[in-house]
């Protein structure tokens, strides 16, 4: 795919599912990945998948297999943030939803937002030396510009609950020609590509995020958020 930034051709590399699965060293987070070139919304797709699963004769098999599954799309035609604000989701970003099968209360959703945010914060710092700031509970900023947003949505039924953790991470994209396409982001956004002045390997970044998330999620189950906050120190704001 050839697109243009600042009148110079830029060749977009599609996300390599096989590469991701070969390097993702987790027990469940990201061990299954569902890839699309275009979706309306990864969160919406995850919810439809879950709704259909409940009609299966043996849904328990689905529940066991889908825990930790990641749904990813090159483009989101209807990407959204909080309050259904439009989210600019062109090729080159990391637009994905991590599905968890768990028992959770509504008041705990902000904690799950934070766990994903810290997992991304760690990946940006360790892999690229990017020191970001977590804005409680679901945004990540680099200096004064947003680099990532997280949207957790609970899909609950009588005996089972799915938590769909939607994440929009600005990776290999540019906002120079975004215009007003991203109401949630335009004028106040930045990407990894713009910070580093080069593209990054999205497969490696997503694998590290999944690995961090699994570690942080299990730490949360054992010790709540105590050690999670220690990891980001004073790099969190309200």
Look at residue 78 in the predicted model and tell me its pLDDT: 78
DSSP states of 109-127 as a string? HHHHHHHHHHHHHHHHHHH
Query: Is residue 96 a contact partner of residue 167, using CB atoms and an 8 Å limit?
Result: yes
Q: Check if the beta carbon of residue 164 is closer than 8 Å to that of residue 34.
A: no
Axis crossing angle, helix 42-53 with helix 59-66, rounded to the nearest 10? 150
Could you list the residue range(s) of the whole structural domain that residue 133 is in?
A: 2-237
* Count of structural domains within the chain: 1
pLDDT digit string, tens, across residues 44-86: 999 999 988 877 777 777 877 899 999 999 999 877 766 667 7
Q: State both tokens at 117.
A: 């945010």
- Half-sphere exposure of residue 196, counting CA atoms within 13 Å on the CB side? 19
Which ranges of the chain have pLDDT less than 50? Answer: 1-10, 182-183, 186
Residue spans of beta strands (DSSP E) within the chain: 2-5, 8-11, 33-39, 70-76, 94-101, 133-135, 139-142, 145-156, 161-169, 236-237
pLDDT on residue 119: 96
Strands 8-11 and 70-76: unpaired
Neighbouring residues of 82: CB distance < 8 A, sequence distance ≥ 6: 138, 149, 151
CATH number, position 124: 3.30.930.10
């Amino acid at each position: 795919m050839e697109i243009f930034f600042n009148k110079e051709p830029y060749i977009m590399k599609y996300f390599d599912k096989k590469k991701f699965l070969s390097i993702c060293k987790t027990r469940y987070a990201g061990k299954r990945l569902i890839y699309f070139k275009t979706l309306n919304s990864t969160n919406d797709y995850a919810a439809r998948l879950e709704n259909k699963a409940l009609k299966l004769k043996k849904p328990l098999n689905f529940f066991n297999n889908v825990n930790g599954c990641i749904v990813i799309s090159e483009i989101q035609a209807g990407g959204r943030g909080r309050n259904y604000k439009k989210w600019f989701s062109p090729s080159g970003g990391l637009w994905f939803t991590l599905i968890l099968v768990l028992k959770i209360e509504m008041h705990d959703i902000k904690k799950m937002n934070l766990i994903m945010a810290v997992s991304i914060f760690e990946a940006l710092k360790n892999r690229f030396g990017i020191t970001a700031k977590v804005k409680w509970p679901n945004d990540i900023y680099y200096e004064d510009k947003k680099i990532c947003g997280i949207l957790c949505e609970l899909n609950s039924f009588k005996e089972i609950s799915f938590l769909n953790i939607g994440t929009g991470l600005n990776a290999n994209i540019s906002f120079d020609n975004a215009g007003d396409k991203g109401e949630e982001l335009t004028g106040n956004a930045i990407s990894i590509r713009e910070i580093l002045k080069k593209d990054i390997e999205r497969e490696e970044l997503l694998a590290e995020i999944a690995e961090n998330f699994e570690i942080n999620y299990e730490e949360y189950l054992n010790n709540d958020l105590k050690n999670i906050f220690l990891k980001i120190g004073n790099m969190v704001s309200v």
